[in-house]
Structure 1
Amino acid sequence: MPRLDHINIDVVDGPRMVAFLEAVLAAEDGARPPFAFPGHWVYLDGAPCIHLNIVRRGEDYPRGMVNHVAFGVYDFATAKARIEAAGYPYRITGIPGSEIGQFFVEGPEGLLVEVQFRRAPQS
């Protein structure tokens, strides 16, 4: 069965985006093959699931066709403390009728990251 392997994101400031992902997701910048173009591979649980390509563009960062990328499921208190310590704007919501809560965190260059957590079932 096919599964999602990674997401590839074009960014202007690679180190800034890596720092955001490390702060919000406890991700790690890691080994990357020697491609002919600059970038980073960011790891979660030992897997390089976020690939960043360094590109040149103006300050207008279009959201593009992908609205956001989601990661989960994290412990609520741990995720909230990490997100608040990182200092990025966020909002909390949830999937109706489920145990999944969501932090939507606004990152650099217009990237919106969803961090899921377990909550009490909603009716």
Structure 2
Amino acid sequence: MQLDHVTIVAPDCDALMRFFVDIAGMRVGPRPPFGVGGYWLYLGSRPAVHLIASGAASASASASAERPGATRIDHLALRVGDEAEWRALLERLDCHGYAYQLADVPVARELQLFVRLAPGVVVEFVVAQTRAQS
């Protein structure tokens, strides 16, 4: 596995986007139509930072004890390399009794799996849809 991306929820996505583009050298790239505002910021060919406008329901649906509108890192995501690794992950989660949510992102052709470890602590696993089935 490798680190895939970090998601930041913020009231001012534009300011964060400008920082990551102007200072960190990322570029704004394609983003699935989630129905909430935000940006995907790319390093090379992969989106490394996902920005989501606060007040919108995040993909991980994390219930936060923080005040509404607070900027926070919403979740970290790990990319799973292949179908065997994906199936082994599902088996480990089931064996250890972890609850998880699956999501299909057809535009990106990916499957996502979210595990809430504690309030405000979410880990996402993502795999290319052509490599694995849920």
Give the structure-1-normalised TM-score.
0.45
